[in-house]
Structure 1
């Protein structure tokens, strides 16, 4: 077995170092060697203190999550290691840097002292994986920093800075340079201090009336157990019990709660989502040593809301950006939006005034497209008009420097055609950002038929640099996300024509877990935007020969009901609050009458969920059959990060596997019989039929 834990000595200070790249995860082998190291040090009379540190770019950033799928976590138990550290005859000092998360922070809580680099982030993010801290986090953290502060960290799963950790007493000192030397000096200063009272597990904890009030307030804000709140509620209960149980009793209760959470569908879904996101960044069959293109400067064509958001995404990562538009008025609005956005970040304390000014200065605006000619990557972000986009790509092919990557932000159009227009086919792909682009993390990277491998690899690497979650799609209408969205929106509209109200449809899907129902979503994004996509499809002849297809959004558009921006769409708006609108309901009833659709009153929430989600899932199977997506997890990643799909359900494809593809097939067959299938809306892809049969 390779040495994942080593021991050295500098004078009278023992140094235990964990070296398990890339994140020093607490694997079984690490635990075995860590336990062995401390057992050997237990009776070493030559040392007066022990430094516990990690090699590489970070301290231990958590457990080996793959072990969660095992019936039991392999021995040694982390709690045995923690107990041994607490019982050492000399003080143990955790020396933290990078990210100290989950099991890494729990390990530090067993040490007598904690010091950290000033840039360190630390937290207990287990609830984001549908579990809770299972190795003492819920028992030791409240004993150290107080119940209310600990509860906030544990149920949110959010990391805190070293400065904040020092403030609340989680760390004892922070250093801004030469961590090793300063930590050594710190160790030498505490060798003569009695460290017996530094054992966190022995500290008393009593919940005050304020603590109990805060607990009730926090728990009331948590989702219910069936809506993704199982782990957070269990974590809150464990933390509460730290005030009434001994450490041993609390650890036993915590472990039982951890195992119970681990075995839920919620945790399995969240762990799937975690791994799917990381897998989505990997492109099959690409050589590891493939040389990437050097991207140092960015050009954006189109200074509307989307183009401006994309510009800020790159500026936030330190890239100089040229934002080009033919309209001086549009550029003025873009500059105003940039200033307003960054000022908002300053007001909220997310940026200093200097940081905001630096990011603003990175974005230059111009009407002259020749200023794009020196950019390494140019992203076209004009509105969804194919003729205009084709003309832009022809022009970019003429003016861009050799080797520049040309990308379209189109949400649905054929990027292969745009590549041909540019005359630089290998240099072209799609980069579909989601609005607002400076906030939404999803990026669909669209590989054209002849995109050069190094271009695809470069943009996937670039996505990480600008803090995006990227997934690759092939070329088809709507790519992965919007293609699947079509069936979802189609059935939502049919349900409106059949008598369901917008609020009933939205509530059913929001109760399922969607961040926003389809009617509210379109009203917010813009009915006009959605209608123009449908009209573009109609123009290209790609719509089904069904005169009821997406007729609702088209009629709303014709009547000037554009959604929130006009205070009327599927709903009427009082400010930003949607209110059921009699005029809209009458419009839906008229449309139903025009098309011979009988309205009914027996539509259930379950029917809404199944009719909207199952076509979406079926389309996902087709996408995999056609090779548009590499993996089902890539589809889940797109929906989790771009469309508000509930993480606790793992994504639409994972959800199908959870409930069983046979259930999806049976329901689709029933809907085909109930609503008819003249246009193939309920056709079952062969791969879904096969999965259902198995």
Structure 2
């Protein structure tokens, strides 16, 4: 916005001063907004012909939080808490007129006001914990004086949205308005002319049970799984019970300043910004998404059923096709079972369940796909099976209908070759369970048209998925890098590490589950089938560890069979004697001494392996940005967002150490571990490896 154009304007409506923030697109609380709003409030508060003030925002939303352009930079006064203090101290009543979303600093501006009106479809929230911070302009101090400690802790530690009806019932707002909220706020302000402002800072925190709140905070720390900001925010709320608002805000600033420079804070801001960058896909400047209303799903197994549920949840009409009536019945049972679990957990009522199921029809013939705008295949991951299906589908659906493959590893260009008009073929790689997992890799193939790619991205948004555009390579972005991660895990076994050593190291680092626990939960047979399929083309110079193959040959596929990398007796996990025996034999066969690994050795080795492959993916153009790779692992592989992803972590470790690890891999493990030029150059210059990840 032009620096010479005011972002806050004021006008008199009789005795009421209307102060309007106009800083598109989301009226962020930038330096200009903070300065001009503070100046306006102080001036109008001392103006004799002003009886009350209304704060409103132009455009589609109230102030929706901080200016992302200021992230990570030193804040220039006035800082928002100073602007909020000026609002609260104003000698004339101040009314906030909230529409759209009032998030973070926007909510804090409203809390500092003396009265609040809210449009019925508006939302309030303090989501700072999601970017590794705590509210810093009084949110943890003013809100508990209105709604109490326990409810405020819930709001600030989850970052959840508060709808208008809930805000009214909690006493956060004075009125909920169906029509023009500014007109209603002006009318409300008129009733306050001549009255003393009702300041939140003058209120006491409602009575509470200390033991109950202590337990609430312990529960917050447990749920946070290592993330610092939720616990810090909860303890700030508790401080409101023993401090004045100015004292509490000073403590907020101390905590805010500490969190903003922490590695977790940097990582979470990185992920926040990465999601915005991922939405920008090259080559779509003139693309026109196709209107999709009716979607087909080929296959009603675990993946197909999950995809069907995700589509129905998003409002699409869905046709699911299976090969025969028995498979149709089994598919229907899976879909109904997924919805039944949602209903049992209280996340779906009976009416919503029936309405969503009504959108899904199942059939036993491919002809049922004829009216579909998009068909997503979710059949067995075999090239000939998929080619046969696409050849048949291209003769059934309309010429302009889109066909999408959900393959995990196969080359989708080979699948597209079997269909007519390969320009309409796209990869849509869902992650299981498809109705839950947020990640969707959208794979642009050699002949995919821009309109088709834009359509797949639009469908992903409607499904509330995070779409990451990928090029074609074995495993795409996530599975290709994960294969290298898995390979190094198995190499360490051959050198004498136990599965528990590696799992403990990665769990202490912050992952919710170590790799071998994940392998057992997912099942070892899928990766075994993939290894057997690739065996004829494997480079004979490549280091290969067959411990997993030997486990699978004996029917030990993980939790489902009672044994895998661990044993599972009555659901209790314990070390597997057979695995220890196979490791001992592998160490002896290798002829080397048993290596002792520290947790740091394991962590850095695995991150280096991922960074090595990630650099190659970037150079090949499979992923557009290093931050896209991080998003894949945060949203598809269980990496906590506060770790920032493997590429972010590689930059934290530093190029020199990462390069040293990769050079050891190249010497020890054979071809495939050569350091990419980007890492070598970064080590030489001592600069970041992946600038796009910062």
Q: Cα offset for 1:276? A: 0.7
> Which structure 1 residue ranges, 4+ long, deviate > 6 Å from structure 2?
none
Larger deviation, residues 660-669 vs 78-87:
78-87
Distance 1:336 1:518, change over 3 A: same
Q: Which residue of 2 aligns with 1:200?
A: 200
Q: Distance in 1 between matches of 2:557 and 2:313?
A: 32
Q: Which residue of 2 aligns with 1:686?
A: 677
Within the alignment, does 1:459 sit opposite 2:456 as a pair? yes
Distance 1:538 1:119, change over 3 A: farther
Q: Distance in 1 between matches of 2:201 and 2:68?
A: 26
Distance 1:550 1:449, change over 3 A: farther
Q: Cα offset for 1:130? A: 1.4
Contact residue 16 and residue 50 of structure 1 kept, 8 A: yes
Contact residue 446 and residue 472 of structure 1 kept, 8 A: yes
1:32-111 pair list within 5 angstroms: 32-71=35-74, 73-111=75-113
SS at match of 1:205: coil
Q: Distance in 2 between matches of 1:85 and 1:312?
A: 48
SS at match of 1:261: helix
SS at match of 2:102: strand
SS at match of 2:53: strand
Q: Cα offset for 1:566? A: 2.0
Distance 1:58 1:552, change over 3 A: farther
Q: State the TM-score, normalized to the length of structure 1.
A: 0.92
User: In the alignment, which of 155, 158, 174 is matched to residue 156 of structure 1?
Assistant: 158
Within the alignment, does 1:22 sit opposite 2:25 as a pair? yes
Q: Cα offset for 1:205? A: 3.4
Q: Cα offset for 1:438? A: 0.5
Q: Distance in 2 between matches of 1:537 and 1:58?
A: 54
Q: Distance in 2 between matches of 1:314 and 1:426?
A: 23
Q: Which residue of 2 aligns with 1:119?
A: 121
Q: Which residue of 2 aligns with 1:235?
A: 233
Distance 1:140 1:407, change over 3 A: same
Post-superposition Cα deviations, 1:132-184, rounded to whole Å, max 9, x if no partner, equal 11111122122222122222222232333333333332223323455445444
Aligned-residue CA RMSD in angstroms? Answer: 2.5
Q: Distance in 2 between matches of 1:588 and 1:217?
A: 44
Q: Distance in 2 between matches of 1:402 and 1:658?
A: 50
Post-superposition Cα deviations, 1:511-539, rounded to whole Å, max 9, x if no partner, equal 11122211111222221222222223225
Distance 1:301 1:260, change over 3 A: same
Q: Distance in 2 between matches of 1:568 and 1:491?
A: 22
SS at match of 1:174: strand
Q: Distance in 2 between matches of 1:76 and 1:43?
A: 20
Post-superposition Cα deviations, 1:421-474, rounded to whole Å, max 9, x if no partner, equal 112221112111100010000011111122111211221122111101111111
Q: Cα offset for 1:48? A: 4.1
1:489-528 pair list within 5 angstroms: 489-528=486-525
Q: Distance in 1 between matches of 2:590 and 2:233?
A: 54
Contact residue 587 and residue 594 of structure 2 kept, 8 A: no
Larger deviation, residues 459-468 vs 331-340:
331-340
Contact residue 406 and residue 429 of structure 2 kept, 8 A: yes
1:159-308 pair list within 5 angstroms: 159-191=161-193, 194-196=195-197, 198-205=198-205, 208=208, 210-211=209-210, 213-215=212-214, 217-219=216-218, 221-222=220-221, 228-287=226-285, 289-308=286-305
Q: Distance in 1 between matches of 2:572 and 2:102?
A: 41
Q: Distance in 1 between matches of 2:123 and 2:404?
A: 35
Q: Cα offset for 1:404? A: 1.4
Contact residue 497 and residue 599 of structure 1 kept, 8 A: no
Q: Distance in 2 between matches of 1:482 and 1:94?
A: 49
Distance 1:344 1:96, change over 3 A: farther
Number of equivalent positions:
682
Post-superposition Cα deviations, 1:70-93, rounded to whole Å, max 9, x if no partner, equal 22x123222222122223333222
Q: Cα offset for 1:414? A: 0.6
Q: Cα offset for 1:599? A: 6.8
Distance 1:501 1:431, change over 3 A: same
Q: Which residue of 1 aligns with 2:365?
A: 368
Q: Distance in 2 between matches of 1:574 and 1:119?
A: 52
User: In the alignment, which of 621, 626, 638 is matched to residue 627 of structure 1?
Assistant: 621
Q: Distance in 1 between matches of 2:346 and 2:173?
A: 23
Contact residue 607 and residue 649 of structure 2 kept, 8 A: no
Q: Cα offset for 1:323? A: 1.0
Q: Cα offset for 1:121? A: 2.7
Q: Cα offset for 1:321? A: 0.9
